[in-house]
A = this chain, B = another copy of it.
Amino acid sequence: MTTSPSLIVFHGTFIHLPRLPAEPATPSTPPKHVLEIRRGALWVRTVDGRIEGFEWGVEGEEELGALMGRMGWREEGRQGDNDDDDNDTEGVRVRIVRGRKGRNGFFFPGFVDTHIHAPQYPNSGIFGSSTLLDWLKTYTFPLESSFSSSPSSPTTPPPIAHNVYNRVVRRTLAHGTTCAAYFATIHVPATNLLADICHTRGQRALIGRVCMDNPSTCPDHYIDSSPSSSLAATRATIAHITTLDPSHTLLKPIITPRFAPSCTPPLLSSLGALAAETSPPTHIQTHISENTSEVSLVARLFPSHDSYTHVYDSAGLLTRRTVLAHAIHLSASEREIIASRGAGVAHCPVSNSAIGSGLCEVRELLDSGISVGLGTDVSGGYSSSLMEVVRQTCLVSRLVAYRAHEEGGGKGSVEGGADRRKISVEEALWLATRGGAKVLDMEGEIGGFEKGMWWDAMYVELTGEEDEGEQEEGGRLGNVEVFGWESREEWIAKWVWCGDDRNVKAVWVGGRIVHGRVERDL
């Protein structure tokens, strides 16, 4: 009988971002001491997928052998290892995953997508010249409503849900997204299917059935019939997710009022109460202040409230487990409320630029003490790659800095000059990993390489001079070109700006491989 090894030992280069840089980048100096780059070995317990330890400086095979001797490990499949006779052989059986030589490869924490609409995936790239409110009506509601079950088989998810949800989970894993906070649709069977697919494919996920019951703003054919039916349907998906994963290790429910304009006040309040039934509260996600017309609409629909933020706050929807998507047009007092509740923001610059919602000032959010992660916002965002979001986070921050320069230092609360508004490559990668973990209240669990964290990670390879020949045929190695004189920081910058899923060779969630592979000992 074959038994699994007790540990998986990863050997190679490890890069992560231990902290957000205290000092911002200056125009010509990149921020320092932000990327932690180590060569060595890191080992993960197969029983729970958590990092048990690491030792840096373990350069080559000889040092690795010495470490194994010290630790009392024996490599599976090597001489002295015998699956059938496990108890008779001394030492702990380990599997070794070696980063390939000469490929400029490294292990990196998996990306955390704090905002993605799974059912909208087929519309990626289809948005014309629309802005939020007409985009919803023209492109989004018709697609989402097609995820309803047929009347003759009301508990069976429709074929489109199988097709789309399998594709989006597979694709985001291929981009290195190891954890995602998904908006589904209002349909319980299809939402539960999304949970099943994440469970099967092994993606860490928060799964939210969308709640929307306001007949003045929702389409007739795509609406919860009442607050109580919306609540009951939400409870049904929470129950399904809990049956699938009782400890909520891989899958968590997330309460999902679409956004204030879609929901009646009674629904908002009952969802806030539902979240508070558990301690810590159940996660919550919604949209806020994405578009100026939307902000005006909220003011009209909720005339007794001081602000958009106050609508959510008064319903008990702002907790340290709340994810607010977009948050572009907040006032200072709104930022203060959000910070005091510990709620986080999903920054979605790809979507914000694509449907012309505006330029979100991330530095202002961070300076206000708000946690910020990144979100693809498929399909307001056209890309399911969080790396595209990393890029656009940097780009948009440079346009924000430009605007602030034009305005003589810029409006708002950012101190230290316009250039402080720029988000560096390293900061954006921090937001994509640690930042997202914090927004999802999973700090200390994912987002880096620390003892006790889950091994949610990817193995990245950049091309090198030696790949010249292969590069010629079809570019399967991607667009990163390494010339050999780059620093490690420049390596990472090239990955960020020129990389894509071709560079993501393998992905693990909780120690389980969920995409690709690393060839051993090439």
Interface, chain A (partner B; CB < 8 A): 25-30, 121-122, 124-131, 134, 137-138, 163-164, 167, 170-171, 174, 292, 353-359, 382-385, 394-396, 398-399, 401-402, 405-406, 419, 422, 424, 471-472, 474-476, 479-481, 483, 485-486, 490, 493-498, 500-502, 516
Which one, B30, B128, B384, B497, contacts A29 given CB within 8 A? B128
Contact pick for A125, options B124, B476, B497, CB 8 Å? B497
Q: Which residues of B contact A495 (CB under 8 A)?
A: 125
Query: How far apart are the CA atoms of A43 and B496 in the complex, in Å?
Result: 42
A358 to B26, CA, bound (A): 18
Instruction: Please tell me which one of the listed residues B128, B398, B481, B493 contacts residue A30 in the complex, with CB atoms under 8 A apart.
Output: B128
What is the CB-to-nearest-CB distance from A176 to chain B, in angstroms, rounded to a whole number?
12
Task: Check B502 against A474 for contact (C-beta < 8 Å).
Answer: yes
- Which B residues are CB-close (under 8 A) to A357? 402
Interface centre among A130, A472, A516 (most CB of B within 10 A): A130
Contact indicator A167/B516 (Cβ below 8 Å):
no
Nearest chain B CB to A164's CB is how many angstroms away?
Answer: 8
Complex Cα–Cα for A479 and B501 (A): 9
A31 to chain B, nearest CB (A): 9
The reply to whether A170 and B483 contact each other, CB–CB distance below 8 Å, is no
Residues of B within 8 Å of A401, CB to CB, are 356
> Are B399's CB and A125's CB within 8 A?
no
11 A-B pairs with CB atoms under 8 Å apart are: A27-B130, A127-B493, A167-B481, A170-B472, A354-B394, A358-B406, A382-B498, A384-B479, A474-B516, A479-B501, A500-B500
On chain B, the residues within 8 Å of A385 by CB distance are 479
> Which listed residue (B124, B163, B394) contacts A494, Cβ 8 A?
B124
Chain B positions within 8 Å of A121 at CB level: 481
Give the complex CA separation of A228 and B96 in angstroms.
65
How far is the CB of A407 from the nearest CB of chain B, in Å? 12
Report how far A130 CA is from B167 CA in the complex, Å: 39
Report B-chain residues with C-beta under 8 Å of the C-beta of A163.
Answer: 483
Q: Decide: A481 and B171 in contact? CB cutoff 8 A.
A: yes
Q: Provided the pairs A163-B483, A483-B163 are in contact, do residues A399 and B359 lie with their beta carbons within 8 angstroms?
A: yes
Question: Are A27 and B497 in contact, with the CB atoms below 8 A?
Answer: no
Asked whether, in the complex, the Cβ of A129 is within 8 Å of the Cβ of B167, the reply is no
- A26 x B129 contact (CB < 8 A): yes
Residue A129 contacts which of B122, B398, B494 (CB distance < 8 angstroms)? B398
* Complex contact B493–A126 (CB within 8 A): yes
Query: Are A502 and B516 also in contact (CB < 8 A) when A354-B398, A497-B125 are?
Result: no
Tell me the complex Cα distance, A29–B422, Å: 35
How many angstroms from the CA of A63 to the CA of B353 in the assembled complex? 46
Complex Cα spacing A157 to B35, Å: 37
A420 to chain B, nearest CB (A): 10
Cβ contacts under 8 Å, A497 to chain B: 124-125, 354, 382-383
Given A163-B483, A398-B353, A472-B170, residue A129 in contact with residue B424 (CB < 8 A)? yes
Complex Cα gap A226–B383 (Å): 50
Say whether B125 contacts A424, CB under 8 Å: no
Most chain-B CB neighbours within 10 Å: which of A125, A167, A353, A399? A125
Q: Which residues of B contact A171 (CB under 8 A)?
A: 479, 481
Rounded to whole angstroms, the CA-CA distance of A189 and B384 in the bound complex is: 45
| CB–CB A399/B399 < 8 A | yes
Q: A174-B475, A481-B171 are in contact. Are A383 and B28 (CB under 8 A)?
A: no
Query: Closest residue to A160 on the B side, CB-wise?
Result: B483
Contacts of A356 on B, CB cut-off 8 Å?
398-399, 401-402, 422
Residues of B within 8 A of A128 (CB): 25, 27-30, 424, 493
- A153, chain B: closest CB distance, angstroms: 22
CB distance from A459 to the nearest CB of B (A): 13
**Assuming A353-B395, A422-B356, A474-B502, is B493 touching A125 (CB within 8 A)?**
yes
Taking a contact as CB atoms under 8 Å apart, the answer to whether B486 and A383 are in contact is no
Please state if A126 and B486 are interface contacts (CB–CB under 8 Å).
yes
CB neighbours (8 Å) of A476 from chain B are 474, 476, 502
Complex interface: chain B residues within 8 A of A402 (CB): 356-359
Q: With a CB–CB cut-off of 8 A, which chain B residues contact A137?
A: 28
